[in-house]
Structure 1
Amino acid sequence: MSTPHIVLKEEARMLGATQVMIGLIHCALGQLWTYLYVNHYDFFSSVYLPLVFLSGYPFWSCIIFIISGIFTIEVEKHPSRSLLMYTVWMNLSSFIATIIGIFLILFEIIYFLAKQVKEQWPHQSGILLTTQLWIFSILEMFLTSKVTKWGKKVFYTGNKHL
């Protein structure tokens, strides 16, 4: 027996799981950045400013994305008005974190490309890691906006289910 609410509930759970996975991917990319930066500090110190890594974006965004994903999953399992409100707030926080991250990433890439220096493989690896962070940040931005839209709609209509 399929109703629109059941389909929407399953989508909310899947979106929450996707948010958790994106958070874990950000953490893994941050670990790779740490390894790259520590082992090749000489290459980065003079030419490439890894602003995204130095700001800690992969790590603090990881925590925010995972928490917002967990809230999204939990509100589907145990629907309550207060949990829904927390879910909307966490997804708004996640959305703001993605906007900050996207601007940091764009600034880093533009700053590096404007220098027009000869790229070495650590620089190319850094740009690749930063670009992957950018792609997953954009995906997270779309997911959080969708969950926030659904949550606000449910919260203001008085419905008990996502």
Structure 2
Amino acid sequence: MVSAAMDRRVTNFIEDAETLGGIQIIIGCMHIGFGIILGLMNDVPGHVGGFASTASTGGYPYWGGISFIVCGSLSISASKKFSPALIISSLGMNIASVIFTLAGMVLLLLDMSINGDFTQDYWAVLSGKGISAMLLICSLLEFCISCTIISVATN
């Protein structure tokens, strides 16, 4: 009886971790790509300012994206080769990812609230706020995925 319940939990972890890990890797790549674009929007030709991104200055799209890719890779590895060390490292990295994501969401909310001065280029501010909003949505998704993997790994 206990063995059947344990087998079911292992099967659920393997299926969930592999799928969610793949999504984490995709989100990490999107973060790095949008971070590059956000970093390039700081300088606009002319006499006006660009989009002043605190998230890009703090490096969140880069270290956040790398942590998401590492989380996804560890989750997929833990689902392929079911070992306690991989599960613990996946669990620990997902906990770190939750902390990184919370810090990044604060930076992205700052991005969207402090920009919009009349000395800034209108189109740079508009597209910068759009990219920050997209990164915020991806960060929220990553937060939910990491919490789900933590929940599945601890049960």
When normalised by structure 2's length, the TM-score is 0.85
Q: Does 1:67 align with 2:70?
A: yes
Residue in 1 aligned with 2:138? Answer: 136
Mark the runs of 5 or more structure 2 residues left unpaired by the alignment: 1-7
**1:28-54 CA-partner distances (Å, limit 9, x unpaired):** 101111232245595436xx5311111
Distance 1:131 1:87 in 2: 28
Determine if the alignment matches structure 1 residue 15 to structure 2 residue 46. no
Contact 1:27/1:58 (8 A) holds in 2: yes
- The reply to whether residue 55 of structure 1 matches residue 36 of structure 2 is no
Question: Structure 2 CA distance, aligned partners of 1:49 and 1:40?
Answer: 14
For 2:37 and 2:122, how far apart are their aligned partners in 1?
Answer: 17
Work out whether 1:110 is the aligned partner of 2:113.
Answer: yes
Question: Given that residues 43 and 123 in structure 1 are in contact (C-alpha distance below 8 angstroms), is that contact kept between their aligned partners in structure 2?
Answer: no
- 1:88-130 deviation digits (Å, cap 9, x = unpaired): 00000111111001111112222236x6878610110111111
Which moved further from structure 2: 11-20 or 116-125? 116-125
Q: Pick from 115, 120, 123: which aligns with 2:122?
A: 120
CA contact (8 A) 1:52 1:58 kept: yes
Query: Aligned in 2, Cα 1:91/1:41: closer, same or farther, shift over 3 Å?
Result: farther
Instruction: Determine if contact 1:43/1:122 at 8 Å carries over to the other structure.
Output: no
Give the total of aligned pairs.
148
For residues 118 and 78 of structure 1, the distance between their equivalents in structure 2, rounded to whole angstroms, comes to 52
12-21 or 36-45, which deviates more: 36-45
Amino acid across the alignment from 1:36: M
Q: Which runs of 5+ in 1 are unaligned?
A: 154-162
Q: Tell me how far apart the structure 1 counterparts of residues 42 and 120 of structure 2 sit (CA, whole Å).
A: 18
Distance (whole Å) between structure 2 residues aligned to residue 52 and residue 150 of structure 1: 30
Distance between the aligned counterparts of 1:134 and 1:123, measured in 2? 16
1:72-87 to structure 2, matched below 5 A, reads 72-87=75-90
Moved more, 8-17 or 69-78: 8-17
